[in-house]
Amino acid sequence: MKNLLVTGGAGFIGSNFTRFMLRMYPEYTVVVYDKLTYAGNLDNLKDVAEDFAGRYAFVQGDICDAGLVRATLLEHNVDTIVNFAAATHVDRSLMEPDEFIRTDVLGTYVLLEAVRELGLERYHQVSTDEVYGQVLEGRADETAPLHTRSPYSASKAGGDLLCLSYHASFDVPVTITRGSNNIGPYQYPEKVIPLFVTNAIDDLPLPLYGDGRQMRDYQYVLDHCEGLAVVLQRGRPGEIYNVGTAVETRNVDMARSILEILGKPQSLIQPVKDRPGHDRRYAIDVDKLGALGWESRHTFAEALEKTVRWYVENEWWWRPIKSGEHYQDYYKAQYAERLEGSSA
Ligand code: NAD
Ligand code: TYD
């Protein structure tokens, strides 16, 4: 396993993973295959293209395009696919679910068919703890039932189930990871942490949904990437592995910490109308991946500190995104009414 196709590699986690793998494993090559939707951005890979020119290539393409997927796999002699490509934002899945079903379900099927036809060594599906739905007590291990409540999580669960079916029916060597919320460099500022950090830098309100007591397990993106590498090397085909810190933080406490790090007033927190179907708590058990020798390296406080610093030091990356028309339209649709003096 050494010639990787990283689908969705121009997005947040995929670009961090590409950089991480090329740095850690000098014998690996990586082809990033990405449609470059609003969330895909070649700025995320600028340094990678310069630092690893001989071992890195980029192909613009849709994972639903079976012909281009197949041609790319053959041209680059790919033996392993790591699939990050997905529509990923819950709030957008409530506005326009079709793209989620197309990419996250149909796209996964197209990739699995290619792996089956060409007999690749491994297909790895990057999934999410959101497929378990809200976990009000205790934590979900990999055998927990799926109780999805948003079109995003339902589409991701559909992708996972297809992967497992291709393993059972056709012996395709599939592994799945279900990661908790990632934070770190290059995260599109629609997700809560980069949204709150960049708003706070500009003294804009932090729109906190509902009562702010929802809980998430926020992990540093490179810890997640390390977990993915462990599963690629030591994970068993047909198996699922949760990846996270197994420590949850309330959104209101996360928002307060961001303001504290930046030295901004707590009054920037603005409670707004809740997200429909908002999952109250995600919580996973990560012992199965721990048994393969992996552990999370960053606490939430350390991960947040590093993340905030990165956005402070890299305005060149996020300012053009936030001032762009696509982002502005989305921000208005999602927040204009909510922020008009509304309160939870
Ligand atoms: P992202 O939205 O930042 O990036 C997604 C990438 O996929 C973009 O580069 C986009 O251009 C590309 N893409 C979208 N549709 C495509 C298509 N049809 N064909 C080819 N490329 C396409 O997402 P992210 O946060 O980096 O998440 C990556 C993966 O990790 C997703 O599968 C997501 O479900 C999963 N995940 C994310 C988190 C998180 O906290 N962000 C946590 C667990 C799992
Ligand atoms: P998000 O980053 O969208 O990830 P998830 O996929 O877990 O929903 O949101 C993380 C948490 O932050 C979630 O509980 C919803 C909340 N949130 C807000 O309170 N305000 C916001 O503007 C956003 C985007 C999210």
In-domain check, residue 313: no
Find the catalytic residue in 91, 130, 160, 248. Answer: 130
How distant, in Å, are the alpha carbons of 22, 74, 80, 145, 267 from that of 26? Answer: 6, 22, 16, 39, 48
> Could you tell me if residue 239 is inside a domain?
yes
Say how many Å lie between the CA of residue 181 and the centre of ligand 2: 10
List phi, psi (to 5°) of 172.
Answer: -70, 130
Q: Residue 208's beta-bridge partner residues?
A: 271
Predicted confidence pLDDT, tens digits, the chain (344 residues): 799 999 999 999 999 999 999 999 999 999 999 999 999 999 999 999 999 999 999 999 999 999 999 999 999 999 999 999 999 999 999 999 999 999 999 999 999 999 999 999 999 999 999 999 999 999 999 999 999 999 999 999 999 999 999 999 999 999 999 999 999 999 999 999 999 999 999 999 999 999 999 999 999 999 999 999 999 999 999 999 999 999 999 999 999 999 999 999 999 999 999 999 999 999 999 999 999 999 999 999 999 999 999 999 999 999 999 999 999 999 999 999 999 965 44
Q: Report CA(30)–ligand 2 centroid distance (Å).
A: 31
Q: Is 130 a known active-site residue?
A: yes
CA-wise closest residue to 69 among 101, 96, 29, 106: 106
Helix or strand or coil: residue 52? coil
Q: Which two tokens stand for residue 233?
A: 């090397």
Among 15, 19, 37, say which to mutate for ligand 1: greatest number of ligand atoms within 8 Å of CB.
37
pLDDT, residue 1, reads: 73
Active site residue 152: yes
Q: Considering every ligand atom, which ligand is closest to the CA of 9?
A: 1
Cα-to-centroid distance, 55 and ligand 2 (Å): 36
Alpha-carbon gap, residue 255 to 63, rounded angstroms:
36
209 Cα nearest atom in ligand 2: 19
Nearest CA to ligand 1 atom 5: 11
Cβ–ligand 2 distance for 270 under 6 Å, the answer: no
Q: What is the pTM of this model?
A: 0.98
CATH number reported for the structural domain that contains residue 230 in this entry: 3.40.50.720
Tokens of 41: 């951005």
Q: How far apart are CA 9 and CA 36, in angstroms?
A: 9
Ligand nearest to the CA of 12: 1
Q: Is 218 a catalytic residue?
A: no
Please indicate whether residue 64, judged by its CB atom, sits closer than 6 Å to ligand 1: yes
Task: Look up residue 290 and give its amino acid.
Answer: G
Distance CA 11, CA 277 (A): 26
Among residues 219, 189, 194, 102, the alpha carbon closest in space to that of 151 is found at: 102
Do the domain assignments include residue 330?
no
Pocket lining: 173 vs ligand 1, CB cutoff 6 Å: no
Q: Is residue 71 part of a domain?
A: yes
Is ligand 1 within 6 A of the CB of residue 62? yes
What is the best residue among 89, 131, 216 to mutate for testing ligand 2's pocket, by most ligand atoms within 8 Å of CB? Answer: 216
Q: Give the ranges where 34-191 is alpha helix by DSSP (H).
A: 46-51, 66-75, 90-95, 98-101, 108-118, 151-170
- Bridge partners of 207? 270
Strands of the chain (E only): list them. 3-7, 29-34, 56-60, 80-83, 122-128, 174-179, 182-183, 206-209, 215-216, 219-220, 240-243, 249-250, 269-272
With respect to residue 226, please indicate whether it lies within any of the assigned structural domains: yes
R_g of the chain computed on alpha carbons = 19
Task: Give the ligand 2 atom nearest the CA of 152.
Answer: 6
Q: What percent of the chain has pLDDT above 70?
A: 99
Q: Are 128 and 151 in contact (CB under 8 A)?
A: no
Starting from the CA of residue 254, give the closest ligand: 2
Residues in a beta bridge with 200: none
The active-site residue, picked from 33, 132, 152, 188, is: 152
Tell me, yes or no, whether 17 lies in a domain: yes
Q: Is residue 290 part of a domain?
A: no
- Residues with Cβ within 8 Å of 318's Cβ and at least 6 positions away in sequence, in order, are 189, 194, 198, 311
Does ligand 2 have an atom closer than 6 angstroms to the CB of 195? yes
The pLDDT score that the predictor gives to residue 133 is: 98
Q: Which pLDDT tens digit goes with each residue over 271-315?
A: 999 999 999 999 999 999 999 999 999 999 999 999 999 999 999
Instruction: Give the whole-angstrom CA distance, residue 125 versus residue 83.
Output: 5
- Going from the Cα of 116 to the center of ligand 2, the distance in angstroms, rounded, reads 36
Q: Is the CB of 207 under 6 A from ligand 2?
A: yes
User: Nearest ligand to the C-alpha of residue 128?
Assistant: 1
Residue 74 domain boundaries: 3-182+219-243
Q: Tell whether 133 is covered by a domain.
A: yes
- In angstroms, the CA 180 to CA 286 distance is 10
Model pLDDT, residue 342? 52
Number of domains in the chain: 1
Using the atom order of ligand 1, give the atom closest to the CA of residue 8.
Answer: 7
Indicate the Cα dihedral angle 192, 198, 200, 205, nearest 10°: -60
Cβ neighbours for 106, distance < 8 A, ≥ 6 positions apart:
64
Cα separation, 7 vs 85, in Å, equals: 5
